[in-house]
């Protein structure tokens, strides 16, 4: 085989479809988020505003988080030096897991290298624990759940996105005695829509199924203590297993599950993606624990309130200009473009001409024809920066002769 030609072919295909990804080289400025320095391919630099980060609340620069990280770094050094089972469990990991269990009102939590790994490792391991298990998965679940479910060596059913009637049909068609698990998300981050948590919990009760809820985009962001949408809606006790990240609203890095002590003990003991990998650096665990603790307080609520306010303002202003925004009432502001080349061109012009960085979201992250710009306002943006963004979008929409006046639900 001509390996080099095969690689050319694979990469050319992406170029032809307008979905070849390029890294934008940015350096966020501690204390000045969302400002960052952009280094162009020719080495020249300029200051930009980041509008597509998932550090939704700016916790990545919060002094309490940074000081917890500095303290742990000075106390223990850089890495953990081992897997959790072999010398890699520290007081920082234990504290972080206790903080997470408390956040979700569960007996226990288990930290992984990322939420991606937590989803993949947990879902793919369940067959070992529940022989004959059938997994019911929302059609728009994140790639990490899909990968875990693909590797899960058991029966799988895909229900249409948020379609509770379809889920019921699938559950009803299976053996009533078979063990079952429903895997879904509380916020689907590309559209910003919410999963029907209560209705799915009702079905789970009716069909004796377990519930597995990915709250990656909701933890820190919703609920009086940042426990996510299930906490906000008083439903946390009805969820058997939560999945969350430490890398988005908590501003650090890592992922986790939270569940009963027995469930966590079993996953801890059977999941290769947990067992055979180095644990998080203690400083990372310390920063994440500090961030979670802070977001449980009144200060956390203020940050959440301000973020929600800015999201509403941005949506209102873009809608006022007739931009096709996708508004489901969450903290995410996607603007529908519908073409990969236009989407990339808009993103390039925003960056080069206005110093505004928003990454184009193209296939396979979203279906073809639904390409979009996905804005993530935060409490560390200013009203002046919102204003600059709205003006830039208005100018480019006119320059590119794009449609106005339709809202995409």
Ligand X SMILES: Cc1ncc(COP(=O)(O)O)c(C=O)c1O
Binding footprint of ligand X on the chain (CB under 6 A): 114-116, 119, 142, 144, 185, 189, 214, 216-217, 245, 247, 255
Active site residue 248: yes
In the complex, the smallest distance separating the C-beta of residue 185 from ligand X, rounded to whole angstroms, is 5
Distances (CA, A) of 66 to 76, 111, 386: 15, 20, 27
- Is residue 111 within 8 A of residue 98, CB to CB? The reply is no
In the complex, the smallest distance separating the C-beta of residue 323 from ligand X, rounded to whole angstroms, is 24
Q: Give me the catalytic one of 106, 180, 248, 344.
A: 248
H, E, C per residue of 38-104: EECCCCCEEEEEECCCCCCCCHHHCHHHHHHHHHHHHHHCCCCCCECCCCCCCHHHHHHHHHHHHHH
**Please, which residue, 245 or 359, has the CB nearer to ligand X?**
245
In the complex, the smallest distance separating the C-beta of residue 268 from ligand X, rounded to whole angstroms, is 18
**Please, which residue, 114 or 211, has the CB nearer to ligand X?**
114
Do strands 45-50 and 35-39 pair parallel, antiparallel, or not at all (unpaired)?
A: antiparallel
- Is residue 359 within 8 A of residue 337, CB to CB? The reply is no
CA distance 208 to 176: 8
Kindly state the greatest CA–CA separation across the chain.
Answer: 64
In the complex, the smallest distance separating the C-beta of residue 216 from ligand X, rounded to whole angstroms, is 4
Structure tokens at 245: 């990240």
- Is residue 258 within 8 A of residue 101, CB to CB? The reply is yes
**Please, which residue, 191 or 214, has the CB nearer to ligand X?**
214
- Is residue 221 within 8 A of residue 250, CB to CB? The reply is no
- Is residue 308 within 8 A of residue 119, CB to CB? The reply is no
In the complex, the smallest distance separating the C-beta of residue 142 from ligand X, rounded to whole angstroms, is 3
CA distance 364 to 366: 5
Instruction: Name 409's Cβ contacts closer than 8 Å, sequence gap at least 6.
Output: 326, 327, 328
In the complex, the smallest distance separating the C-beta of residue 219 from ligand X, rounded to whole angstroms, is 10
Q: Which residues are catalytic?
A: 248
């Amino acid at each position: 085989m001509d390996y080099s030609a095969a690689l050319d072919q694979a990469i050319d295909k992406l170029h032809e479809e307008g979905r070849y990804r390029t890294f934008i080289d940015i350096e966020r400025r501690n204390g000045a988020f969302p400002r960052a320095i952009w280094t162009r391919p020719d080495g020249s630099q300029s200051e930009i505003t980041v509008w597509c980060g998932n550090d939704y609340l700016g916790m990545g620069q919060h002094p309490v988080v940074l000081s917890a990280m500095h303290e742990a770094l000075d106390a223990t050094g850089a890495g953990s030096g081992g897997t959790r089972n072999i010398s890699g469990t520290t007081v920082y990991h234990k504290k972080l897991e206790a903080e997470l269990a408390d956040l979700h009102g569960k007996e226990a939590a288990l930290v992984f290298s990322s939420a991606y790994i937590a989803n993949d490792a947990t879902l793919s391991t369940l067959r070992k624990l529940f022989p004959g298990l059938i997994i019911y998965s929302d059609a728009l679940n994140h790639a990490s759940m899909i990968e875990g479910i693909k590797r899960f060596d058991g029966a799988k059913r895909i229900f249409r996105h948020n379609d509770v009637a379809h889920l019921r049909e699938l559950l009803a068609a299976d053996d009533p005695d078979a063990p079952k698990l429903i895997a879904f998300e509380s916020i689907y981050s590309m559209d910003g829509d919410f999963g029907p948590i209560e209705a799915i919990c009702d079905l789970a009760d009716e069909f004796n199924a377990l519930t597995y809820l990915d709250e990656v985009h909701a933890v820190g962001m919703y609920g009086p203590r940042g426990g996510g949408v299930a906490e906000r809606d008083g439903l946390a006790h009805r969820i058997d297993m939560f999945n969350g990240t430490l890398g988005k609203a908590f501003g650090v890095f890592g992922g986790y599950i939270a569940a009963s002590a027995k469930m966590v003990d079993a996953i801890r003991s059977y999941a290769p993606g947990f067992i055979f990998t180095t644990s998080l650096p203690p400083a990372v665990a310390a920063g994440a624990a500090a961030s979670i603790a802070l977001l449980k307080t009144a200060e956390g609520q203020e940050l959440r309130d301000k973020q929600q306010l800015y999201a509403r303002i941005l949506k209102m202003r873009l809608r006022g200009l007739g931009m096709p925004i996708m508004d489901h009432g969450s903290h995410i502001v996607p603007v529908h473009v519908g073409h990969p080349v236009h989407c990339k061109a808009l993103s390039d012009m925003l960056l080069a001409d206005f110093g505004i960085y928003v990454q184009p979201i193209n296939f396979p992250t979203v279906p073809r024809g639904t390409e979009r710009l996905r804005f993530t306002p935060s409490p560390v943006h200013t009203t002046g920066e919102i204003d600059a963004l709205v003006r830039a979008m208005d100018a480019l929409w006119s320059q590119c002769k794009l449609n106005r006046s339709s809202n995409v639900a």
